[in-house]
Amino acid sequence: MLHIVKSLAALPTCLKQCEKQDQVLLIEEACFALLVGEDDQDSKILDFNFSILRSDLEARGLVEKYQLYQSHIVDYNGMLDLTAKHHPCLTW
């Protein structure tokens, strides 16, 4: 399953529902997830297969702050690949 997370508020609920084989895609406001330390969201997301949408990082000036996670950053083609690979998709 692909979990597309749009907001930080939805992330904890999403992660509680995730299975280890699921994929989490952070978009929009959820891109800040690895920068906030509330409830250890940043460390919890690392327990899952996750990706971050590049255009949303760029729009928020976060690309340089996410250098450590370069292998997790995807463009729109990568997002399309994730949606094709993981069924079903759920947006949070």
Residue by residue, pLDDT tens for the chain (92 residues) are 999 999 999 999 999 999 989 999 999 999 999 886 555 555 588 889 999 999 999 999 999 999 889 999 999 999 999 999 999 999 99
**What pLDDT, on a 0 to 100 scale, did the predictor assign at position 68?**
87
**What pLDDT, on a 0 to 100 scale, did the predictor assign at position 46?**
87
Q: Please count the structural domains in the chain.
A: 1
**What pLDDT, on a 0 to 100 scale, did the predictor assign at position 44?**
82
Q: Which two tokens stand for residue 79?
A: 């997002």
Print the domain residue range for 70: 2-91
Write the CATH number for 71.
3.40.1260.10
**What pLDDT, on a 0 to 100 scale, did the predictor assign at position 43?**
59
CB atoms within 10 A of CB 75: 11
Is residue 4 within 8 Å of residue 80, measured between CB atoms? no
**What pLDDT, on a 0 to 100 scale, did the predictor assign at position 79?**
98
- The closest alpha carbon to 84, from 17, 10, 11, 23, belongs to 23
Model pTM score? 0.89
Q: Which two tokens stand for residue 47?
A: 């327990």
CB atoms within 10 A of CB 66: 16
